[in-house]
Structures are given as C-alpha cells and as structure tokens.
Structure 1
C-alpha cells in the first residue's frame, strides 16, 4: 500500500511500478520502433537513434505516471473508506 504522504519521486521509484513500466516500455517501444523505423531496422535507411530511444522513453513515462496516479487514487479511496467506517 502506498502512503499519501510519500513524495512524488519515491512513488515513481516504487520497485513494482518501475518493473511494470519497464515491461510496458519494452513491449510498446519495440512495436512502435518496428512501425516507425522498419526500413532502418532492416538496413534500407539509417536508424534515427534519437527517435529510437524516445520511442522507449515515452511509454515508460506514460506508464509510470499512470501507475503512480492510480496508486495515489487507490490510497486516497482506501483512507477515505477507512475513516468512514
């Protein structure tokens, strides 16, 4: 369970959240790179390394922020539910 008073950075580095975000970034990033840089991957054109890296970074941050917000909402609802009982 995540405490509402834990700082934002601590929440973003939650080991379970990091692991899930990495898996998501690897899957989504690989698919997007195949779509966006198909010719580069198979040697027809040069690979755009900046784009390749960003294609993995963006899904990581989207997944991390989404997971963190979900954990915060869950913690808030849990606290509200516990205090009303």
Structure 2
C-alpha cells in the first residue's frame, strides 16, 4: 500500500489487493491468530527478509485488526521495492 496515496487509492488497494490476500491466508492458515504468529515470526527475521516485506506484513496485520500496541518495529527498515 502506498502510504502517501490519497484515501480513495488506499481503499481501492485494500479492496483489490489486500482483501484477496487476507482471504487466501485465512483459507490456508485457518485463523487470524495463526497468520499473526507467522507474520511476527517473519518480522523477527529482519535480516533475512527483503526490506519491503516488513511494511507489507505490518499493513497486513493492521488490516487484520491485530493489536500492535507494545510492538517494537524501531529497528525494522521499511523500504519500497523499486526493482519493478
């Protein structure tokens, strides 16, 4: 999701991209709790995942309405993927 995009662009991105991804993840993993656990595990492997994935995972958790209070992402480098 583009953070600096207008609200209606973000809403379209959520509807056309994020929601289908969430539906597939729920179909595969069965619950938000399992998805959250796997996402947090990936976020802990900061040096092993591409930098843009951290932002994607956080956006996914936000859309799943996961409570991120108390989470520390201060050392997570969030960088867009300009390789496309």
| TM category, shorter | 0.3 to 0.5
| Structure with more relative contact order (C-alpha pairs < 8 Å, separation 6 or more) | 1
Question: TM-score, normalised to structure 2's length?
Answer: 0.32
Question: TM-score, normalised to structure 1's length?
Answer: 0.32
Decide which structure has greater helix share.
1
Bigger-Rg structure (1/2): 1
